[in-house]
Amino acid sequence: MFIDTLDQAFDIEVKGFKQRSIDTPNNEVVIKGPNEAFVENIRTNTSILRRIVNNENLIIENIEVGKITKTKCAVCYIQDFTNQDLINEVKYRLNNLDIDSLFSAGELEQFICDSNIFGIPQTMATERPDKAAKYLLKGRVIVIVNGTPYGIIMPSILIDFLSSSEDTNLKPNFSNFLRILRVISSFLTLLLPGLYIAVTSFHQEILPTSLMFSILGSRENVPFPIIVEILLMEFSFELIREAGLRVPSPIGPTIGIVGALVLGQAAVSAGIVSPILIIIVAITGIASFAIPDFTFGFHLRYFRFAFILLGFMAGFLGISIGLFIYISALCSIHSFGVPFTTPFAPVTDSKGNGYLLSPIWKREYRPPYMSTEKPKEQDSISMKWKFFKPFGK
């Protein structure tokens, strides 16, 4: 190190450290988009973000959280238009955490969320920098925690948890189809086993007669009542899922598939469960994988047990009451001041930022519920090449 006006230099030994290089994202795979993911080092992450956003108004402020570990958290926002109250609130919450240590983004999410009702997440974690950049440009704030390859997006509302970063890369017809599919899959994850047990216990008249006789035929040799069967199979499915995370990699996927298939088939042949139930559990499991956000999917998986219990207890009455409480809980949550069920309740004009996407040239406005300072992000005629011909041609 040379210092101006001093005639001495310093030879300082500085330690460097190895870190993981930028890799493809593991959990948020996209077909048409970039394949970079965040890494553990905060400097690398912020540099990726800067590279993508490429604008001098992207402000990245460092805040240290944790008295002992002094974990660096980078609060990123675009100062041109992000709502100043939102930025201040995020910084206020981060600065007023009286804890010893902070190790991961997951812990930080739990510390700064508004309410913990039913475990519904109010912030979204993403490992894709392009997704983080897209949300930055819509007026949100990203917090990157050193040591975790995840950026936390706040605020996050219900429709964010059911959107994936692939949606803006495709034409709106296809992405709307996928979005509708995701809504159906979230209903299936939450309600399908509960509905099955409610229908077979109290409301068999809804089933078409031939289907009912198939169910009866398949249940002929089964010794357990339906509730025990369902709980057994759901529990085994969760077990396989959890075990699949820890099986050594060469045989990992095989064990998952073989375990599920063999277990299911063997259980049916032994007459422990009925084949129709295996189908129900399999569809529920597959539907839960279709939900883009891991935390939200977990929340739905967790609550399907509550609906199974309610369906068993009181049939459709139990399920409706469960739905009533669930909807009330969803509606009572605010994520950093934004109601969770915007733009459906309260009814606001989302100006093209609702759940279903409009064509890209119509997405002129930033989401009004973010109260950004620059509401318009596109001109009303954005494709000037198409509609304005130069003179003389």
Contact footprint for other proteins (CB under 8 A):
199-206, 208-210, 212-220, 225-226, 275, 309, 312-321, 323-325, 327-329, 331-332, 339, 341, 344-347
Shortest Å distance, C-beta 120 to other proteins = 13
> What is the C-alpha radius of gyration for the chain, rounded to an integer number of angstroms?
25
| End-to-end CA separation in angstroms for the chain | 63
CB of 225 or CB of 252, closer to other proteins: 225
Shortest Å distance, C-beta 113 to other proteins = 16
Shortest Å distance, C-beta 174 to other proteins = 27
Q: Is the peptide bond before 343 cis (omega within 30 degrees of 0)?
A: yes
Asked if 231 and 348 touch (Cβ cutoff 8 Å), the reply is no
CB of 136 or CB of 162, closer to other proteins: 162
Asked if 392 and 211 touch (Cβ cutoff 8 Å), the reply is no
CB of 100 or CB of 205, closer to other proteins: 205
CB of 99 or CB of 331, closer to other proteins: 331
CB of 43 or CB of 203, closer to other proteins: 203
For residues 140 and 367, what is the distance between their CA atoms, to the nearest angstrom?
10
Shortest Å distance, C-beta 385 to other proteins = 41
For residues 346 and 157, what is the distance between their CA atoms, to the nearest angstrom?
13
Shortest Å distance, C-beta 274 to other proteins = 9
CB of 90 or CB of 333, closer to other proteins: 333
Shortest Å distance, C-beta 341 to other proteins = 6
Helix intervals (H) in the chain: 42-53, 84-95, 105-112, 129-136, 158-161, 172-202, 209-218, 226-246, 252-269, 275-289, 294-332, 384-387
Helix (H) or strand (E) holding 21: none
- Two tokens at 142? 């990203």
Looking at beta carbons, which pairs linking 225-232 to residues 24 or more positions away fall under 8 Å? 226/196, 226/197, 226/200, 226/201, 226/277, 226/312, 227/197, 227/308, 227/312, 229/272, 229/273, 229/274, 229/277, 230/193, 230/196, 230/197, 230/277, 230/280, 230/281, 230/308, 231/308, 232/272, 232/273
Asked if 369 and 83 touch (Cβ cutoff 8 Å), the reply is no
Helices (H) and strands (E) in the chain, counts: 12, 7
CB of 296 or CB of 316, closer to other proteins: 316
Shortest Å distance, C-beta 329 to other proteins = 7
CB of 25 or CB of 322, closer to other proteins: 322
Neighbours of 135 (CB within 10 A): 21
CB of 147 or CB of 368, closer to other proteins: 368
Amino acid at 221: N
Closest of 149, 152, 153, 154 to residue 45, by C-alpha: 149
For residues 260 and 258, what is the distance between their CA atoms, to the nearest angstrom?
5
Amino acid at 55: N
Shortest Å distance, C-beta 217 to other proteins = 4
Shortest Å distance, C-beta 208 to other proteins = 5
CB of 119 or CB of 359, closer to other proteins: 119
Shortest Å distance, C-beta 346 to other proteins = 5
